[in-house]
């Protein structure tokens, strides 16, 4: 039964059907493909790889690369026989690459190039091609884009997988067999097309910024033909859409650069002239393996190499990739009080050799080498990062008695005050403690009215007259206690305008004690000044004055 006729509606436009993976060729694409296809017809033999080896393969009948080349040459011999090309490009047997050549040569006879295939490969790049025959799109794109070194080499990927090495550049394509032997001119051409500007010198090539001073930090690439390429770290760190190592790797098949070069690193942190240890070079090569293996962002390479090398420094302090032998020199550039710097020095001395890294947020972590590495610019972050493990010992080195250091360490660990404030409080406490230590009696040690007078006098001399005045004017229920406050105010000449705070009886009683209290204040000040004093005798006079002498 015949199929029903297609129904067309008035005004309906006929749709053009286009194969998937194709596009309309623009003028530039048409010109480029026409030029490339014409060269296939006129000069196809020169586009075949040059085989530079003469080895024998015991496990196969002949050389597979040479066999493919011979098959392609047979196609080239029939290049003007369009009927034969049409059959060969659809053949089910025979070399698949030769079949793609037949299709490409057939396409060269097209008068117009309108619809083209759109090939895009993550490694070899992209290119337009004319679809002819049953050839693989990869082969067709590689043959018809022979002006692109990476893409034209992709046609020989099947042979590269079997161990053959290919090198591609603008001037040609070479197969060196099972050994990666660099062709003459290949490296120079690849370097000229890279993202760096190279200058040739006696030993090889170097980036332009190394021509005057090769002592600058750089990476050295020594190739299997003994040619050396130097690349400055500054050049690598510059932002670019292209990757040098990808460009280099995709100029050869297989893209295994470990077969053709050896990379070394030339850099040292400022101030360090010591040894990095035997494992350093192994770790450096591990970083290079990631770069050469095309698994690392190229711009991050210098930083990772530097960090790897820094990880093998066993002592000292590292600040922003500069090495210091002593903590005193390391913290010079940090902002902070002298007290903070002094404590930081003690903590860093305790941490030296403990393999600690302090990040930009003040968080400590373990590193490989024994040195202390500081990434933060905050002195407070350094103190905070080291406080848990070294704070108590650091306070002892700072001058705090061991019995007090643990208490202060715990207090700071819980409250996490700013270290400048914390250290100021310690200094205040230490000053008060020193003043208290010179007195023969502690606060609260003496009883009665004499004890109250002693406590008030010590408060005024140690904590300041303001604290003493506050204590003296505090409301008291007993008249004797109020008289103590009034006697101290008069003795220190701070009683003016405060009469209303005291009853007449307290003022009268306190006035009788003023002479002995004033003498006690004088003797206490002599003790604080480090001079000879008769404080105990003055206490006896106070006892006599207040009627508490035995």
Alpha-carbon gap, residue 132 to 91, rounded angstroms: 12
- Find, among 47, 50, 33, 102, the residue nearest to 74 by Cα: 102
Three-state SS at 377: coil
| pLDDT at residue 324, rounded to an integer | 94
- Give the tens place of pLDDT for each residue, 193-247: 999 999 998 878 999 988 767 789 999 999 999 999 999 999 999 988 899 999 9
| pLDDT at residue 2, rounded to an integer | 57
- Give the tens place of pLDDT for each residue, 444-472: 888 898 898 899 989 888 888 888 888 88
Sign of CA dihedral 335, 337, 342, 346: negative
Phi/psi for 262 (5° steps) reads -130, 125
List, as one string, the DSSP characters of 379-424.
HHHHHHHHHHHHHHHHHHHHT--HHHHHHHHHHHHHH---HHHHHH
* Residue spans of alpha helices (H) in 463-513: 465-472, 479-491, 504-511
- Give the tens place of pLDDT for each residue, 335-365: 888 999 999 999 999 998 899 999 988 899 9
| pLDDT at residue 277, rounded to an integer | 82
Q: What residues are paired with 50 via a beta bridge? A: 174
Alpha-carbon gap, residue 407 to 405, rounded angstroms: 5
Around 489, how many Cα atoms within 13 Å sit in the side-chain half-sphere? 24
Sign of CA dihedral 458, 459, 460, 461: positive
Other beta carbons within 10 angstroms of residue 194's beta carbon come to 20
| pLDDT at residue 17, rounded to an integer | 45
Tell me how far apart the 2 most distant CA atoms of the chain are, in Å: 141
The pair of three-digit structure tokens given for residue 316, joined into one six-digit string: 């000292």
List, as one string, the DSSP characters of 152-186.
HHGGGHHHHTTT-EEEEETTEEEEEETS--PPTTH
Query: Which pairs count as long-range contacts for 391-396, CB under 8 Å and 24+ apart, including other chains?
Result: 391/347, 393/346, 393/350, 394/343, 394/346, 394/347, 394/350, 395/343, 395/426
Distances (CA, A) of 505 to 185, 246, 339, 468, 482: 114, 99, 51, 22, 9
| pLDDT at residue 138, rounded to an integer | 93
Report whether 336 contacts 354 (CB < 8 A). Answer: no
Around 82, how many Cα atoms within 13 Å sit in the side-chain half-sphere? 6
| pLDDT at residue 5, rounded to an integer | 56
| pLDDT at residue 47, rounded to an integer | 94
| pLDDT at residue 7, rounded to an integer | 55
What pTM was estimated for this model as a whole? 0.74
| pLDDT at residue 102, rounded to an integer | 95
Pairing status of strand 317-319 against strand 372-374:
parallel
- The full 3-state SS of 94-105, as one line of letters, equals CCHHHHHHHHHH
Report whether 165 contacts 43 (CB < 8 A). Answer: no
| pLDDT at residue 407, rounded to an integer | 87
- Find, among 154, 122, 120, the residue nearest to 139 by Cα: 154
| pLDDT at residue 199, rounded to an integer | 93
Alpha-carbon gap, residue 317 to 319, rounded angstroms: 6
Q: Which residues of the chain have pLDDT under 50?
A: 17
Alpha-carbon gap, residue 266 to 473, rounded angstroms: 75
Cis previous bond, 254, omega within 30: yes
């Amino acid at each position: 039964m015949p199929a029903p006729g297609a129904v067309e509606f008035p005004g309906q436009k006929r749709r053009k059907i286009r194969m998937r993976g194709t596009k309309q060729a623009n003028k530039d694409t048409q010109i480029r493909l026409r030029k490339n296809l014409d060269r296939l017809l006129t000069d196809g033999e020169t586009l075949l790889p040059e085989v530079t080896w003469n080895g024998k393969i015991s496990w196969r009948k002949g050389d597979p690369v040479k066999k493919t080349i011979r098959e392609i040459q047979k196609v080239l011999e029939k290049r003007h026989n369009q009927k034969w090309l049409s059959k060969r490009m659809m053949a089910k047997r025979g070399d698949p690459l030769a079949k793609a050549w037949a299709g490409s040569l057939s396409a060269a006879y097209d008068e117009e190039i309108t619809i083209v295939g759109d090939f895009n490969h993550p490694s070899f790049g992209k290119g337009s091609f004319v679809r002819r025959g049953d050839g693989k799109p990869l082969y067709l794109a590689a043959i018809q884009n022979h002006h692109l070194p990476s893409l034209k080499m992709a046609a020989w990927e099947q042979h590269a997988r079997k161990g053959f090495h290919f090198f591609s550049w603008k001037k040609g394509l070479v197969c060196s067999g099972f050994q990666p032997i660099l062709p003459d001119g290949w490296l120079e051409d690849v370097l000229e097309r890279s993202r760096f500007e190279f200058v040739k010198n006696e030993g090889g090539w170097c980036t332009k910024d190394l021509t005057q001073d090769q002592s600058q930090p750089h990476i050295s690439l020594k190739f299997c033909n003994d040619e050396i390429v130097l690349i400055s770290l500054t050049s690598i760190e510059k932002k670019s859409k292209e990757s040098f190592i990808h460009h280099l790797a995709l100029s050869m098949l297989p893209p295994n650069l470990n077969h053709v070069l050896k990379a070394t690193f030339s850099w040292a942190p400022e101030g360090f002239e010591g040894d990095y240890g035997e494992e350093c070079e192994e770790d450096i090569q591990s970083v290079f393996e990631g770069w050469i293996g095309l698994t690392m962002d190229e711009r991050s390479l210098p930083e990772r190499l530097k960090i790897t090398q820094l990880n093998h420094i066993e002592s000292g302090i590292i600040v922003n990739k500069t090495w210091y032998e002593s903590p005193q020199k390391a913290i010079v550039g940090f902002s902070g009080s002298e007290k903070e710097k002094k404590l930081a020095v003690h903590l860093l001395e305790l941490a030296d050799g403990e393999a600690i890294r302090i990040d930009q947020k003040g968080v400590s972590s373990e590193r490989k080498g024994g040195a202390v590495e500081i990434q933060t610019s905050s002195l407070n972050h350094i103190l905070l990062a080291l406080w848990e493990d070294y704070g108590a010992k650091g306070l002892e080195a700072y001058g705090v008695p061991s019995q007090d250091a643990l208490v202060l360490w715990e207090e700071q660990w819980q409250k996490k005050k700013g270290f400048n404030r914390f250290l100021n409080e310690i200094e205040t406490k230490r000053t008060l403690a020193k003043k208290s230590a010179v007195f023969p009696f502690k606060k609260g040690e003496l009883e009665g009215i004499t004890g109250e007078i002693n406590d008030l006098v010590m408060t005024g001399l140690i904590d300041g007259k303001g604290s003493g005045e506050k204590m003296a004017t505090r409301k008291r229920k007993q008249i004797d206690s109020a008289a103590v406050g009034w006697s101290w105010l008069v003795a220190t000449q701070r009683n003016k305008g405060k009469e209303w705070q005291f009853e007449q009886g307290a003022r009268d009683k306190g006035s009788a004690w003023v002479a002995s209290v004033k003498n006690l204040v004088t003797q206490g000040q002599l003790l604080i000044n480090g001079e000879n004093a008769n404080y105990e005798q003055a206490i006896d006079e106070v006892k006599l004055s207040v009627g508490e002498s035995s």
